Amino acid sequence: MLYPINTPSRMVFDLNGVWQFSLRRPGEPDDGPLQDPRPMPVPAAYNDIYPDAALRDHVGEAAYERTFTVSAPMLAGRLVLRFGGVAHRARVYVNGALAAEHLGGFLPFEAEIGSLVRLGENTLRVIADNTLTLETLPVGRLVETEYPGLGRVRENLPNFDFFNYAGILRPVVLYTTPETYISRIRVDPHTDGRVEYQVEWGGTGEAAPEIGVEVRNAQGDTVAAGTGAGGVLRVKDPILWEPGAGYLYRLAVRCRLDGAEDRYELPFGIRSVEVRGTQFLINGKPFYFKGFGKHEDSCIHGQGLDEAVNVKDLALMDWMGANSLRTSHYPYAEEMLRLCDAQGVVVIDELPAVGLHANFVATGLLDKNGTVNTWEQVKTTPHHREVLEKLVERDEHYACVVMWSIANEPAAEEEGAAEYFAPLCALARELDRQRRPVTIVTYEGCAPDTCKAAPLVDVLCVNRYFGWYNYCGRVDAGAAVLEDELRRWHEKYPDKPLMVCEYGADAVAGVHSLPSVMFSEEYQAEFLDTYHKVFDALPFFVGEQVWNFADFATAQNAMRVQGNKKGVFTRDRQPKAAAFLLRRRWRAIPDFGYKG
Ligand code: GCB
């Protein structure tokens, strides 16, 4: 699905702003008036906007409504309503008629609405449902508990460690296209200057449109051109997209039929990604990942898009010498990927597949009795395939994306994991024209000899907290166990690169202690420093991503102090002591060749 932009043939109209909003009771008809509506910003999660626990903790549906005006030029061709992301399930009505239904909070969807609108004022209503189940991604459990005197209470327990923010999280726009329009552009650029491309179109006509393509450089000069819906263009002496230097070309496409023309420009970078033995190569050079697992999370907006925060986060990463991030634990807004592409930030692009474990969650919320078979319980396969298809379609052209993460911390040690994941890994490789490496990020319960995901992936990505959740207060013991385990991973898989995608310790900003104790800034810094000595001793090791970039909101529980405090920055993006340690380290580590 193409990102909405203005072009000579397309107009984009912003529907963000303040909408009317109300929570809904189960069974309420979709078309009745909103009950006691109140203003609600879009995009934003609704949970933290009012001082109201019932709103913050609401389980179920909420309704948003606004009017919008349609002018005559908007009806000259197709009129499309597009949502960047609504968590997690949406029904969309235009003037009372159902225009779209969608499952999945972190990917865009759209509907052609030309036949549903009239000139002048129109009404748009969105019903957003935040319920997570054993069929959705992320995975959650809907439970009803009887409390004495309170009756039955519906709760939605997350199988994951971030707040289940809800609502219209990403931008809403209307855009126009001609009747025959460009529906998809695929690029597969090569470092020798060849750019394979393919253009798909939609429309009602029988005849094929004429397609023209041009590659423009960053100055806007045309450096290659061709015709036809698919082919190979040649860019002479290409400037490569590199970590830290996100040089972008644009593929300018024209699609002409019966005198009408659609035009679109797709930014893309020229670079290669390859796994060779234990090395992760970008442009043929061994790359070392330095960076973070993040969240889309900030004060007030919750998980809603906040472009100021996104720009600030990348500025802080640059200040630290970080070169990469993982979109833990769901696809991020495309606005962020566009920034990463332009700034040369390397991205591991993760599906919303978190919580695929019936016996484990970081906060210990689940029964750890080991008797439940995850792969018999969860019913996520169809949705998992669907989000993978949509993610590859949305993000395939981004040079910053160097690897697909199919899931975070699934029950990869349990029987059934290989059967669940093998087809998904195969599908990722089949769908992606650029054939990026594939990973599944695993947790401490998956050892080298029990992990059923490891044989399926190109890069071994592990999350480790030895010295935090276990060996409490013993960073030295944690690091010793870590080194032993990482070496065993390498012995078992000598031909696969290995990286740690999460390591970290909670630190409550302002808590200090000498000698250090858990939750102090000193302990967090020592924890990271001790892990780094292990990483530096391992030649087959390709990267370190700290958990987490910033403190973030979670469900309330006894393991969390107003959210997860493993941030190197506070939630309002002020540094803890660890930020300075990481800055010294990462500014001294080159992007390429650190491990030979
Ligand atoms: C993990 C999870 C992450 C948690 C983190 C923690 O392994 O992948 O979602 O937030 O641990 O802090 O416990």
125-172 pLDDT tens trace:
999 999 999 999 999 999 999 999 999 999 999 999 999 999 999 999
pLDDT band at 362 (very low <50, low <70, confident <90, very high): low
What tens digit of pLDDT does each residue of 519-567 get? 999 999 999 999 999 999 999 999 999 999 999 999 999 999 999 999 9
pLDDT at position 368: 53
Burial class (CB in 10 A: 0-12, 13-18, 19+), 400: buried
Q: How far is the CA of 410 from the centre of ligand 1 (A)?
A: 12
How far, in Å, is the centroid of ligand 1 from the Cα of 419? 25
Active site residue 389: no
Pocket residue to mutate for ligand 1, from 463, 472, 557, most atoms within 8 A of Cβ: 463
State the catalytic residue, choosing from 61, 396, 502, 544: 502
- Closest ligand 1 atom to residue 506 Cα is 12
State the burial class of residue 17 (Cβ atoms within 10 Å of its Cβ: 0-12, 13-18, 19+).
exposed
Distance 326 CA to ligand 1 centre (A): 13
pLDDT digits (tens, 9 = 90+) for 284-299: 999 999 999 999 999 9
pLDDT score of 91: 98
Atom of ligand 1 nearest to the CA of 559: 13
* Ligand 1 site-directed mutation target among 330, 405, 439, 502, most atoms within 8 Å of CB: 502
Shortest CA distance to 217 belongs to which of 237, 232, 203, 201? 237
Active site residue 502: yes
pLDDT band at 15 (very low <50, low <70, confident <90, very high): very high
Considering only CA atoms, which residue is closest to atom 13 of ligand 1?
A: 362
Mean pLDDT of 509-515: 98
Confidence (pLDDT) at 364: 60
Model's pTM, two decimal places? 0.98
Say yes or no to pLDDT of 585 above 80. yes
In the chain the first and final C-alpha atoms are separated, in Å, by 39
Q: Which residues of 123-132 are buried (b: 16+ CB within 10 A; e: fewer)?
A: ebbbbbbbbb
Asked if the model's pLDDT at residue 366 lies above 60, the reply is: no
pLDDT, tens only, 81-92: 999 999 999 999
Cα distance between residue 540 and residue 199, in whole Å: 40
| DSSP β-ladder status, 541-547 and 289-293 | parallel
pLDDT higher than 90, residue 273:
yes
The CA R_g of the chain, rounded to the nearest whole Å, is 24
In the reported structure, the alpha carbon of residue 161 is separated from the centroid of ligand 1 by a whole-number distance in angstroms of: 6
- Residues in contact with ligand 1 (CB, 6 Å cut-off): 160-161, 329, 362, 408-409, 443, 463, 502, 547, 564, 566
Residue with tokens 């189940």: 133
Position 205 pLDDT exceeds 80: no
Query: Is residue 423 scored above 90 in pLDDT?
Result: yes
Structural tokens at position 402: 């160097």
> Which of the residues 409, 414, 521, 544 is marked catalytic?
409
Task: Quickly list DSSP for 115-168.
Answer: GG--SEEEEEEEEEE----TTSSS-EEEEEEEETTTEEEEEEEESSSS----EE
For residue 596, the model assigns a pLDDT of 72
The continuous run of DSSP H or E covering 427 comes out as helix 417-431
Q: Residues 37-40: contacts with CB within 8 Å, 24+ apart?
A: 37/65, 40/64, 40/167
Residue type at position 108: P
Per-residue pLDDT at 365 exceeds 50 = no
Hey, whose CA ends up nearest to atom 3 of ligand 1? 161
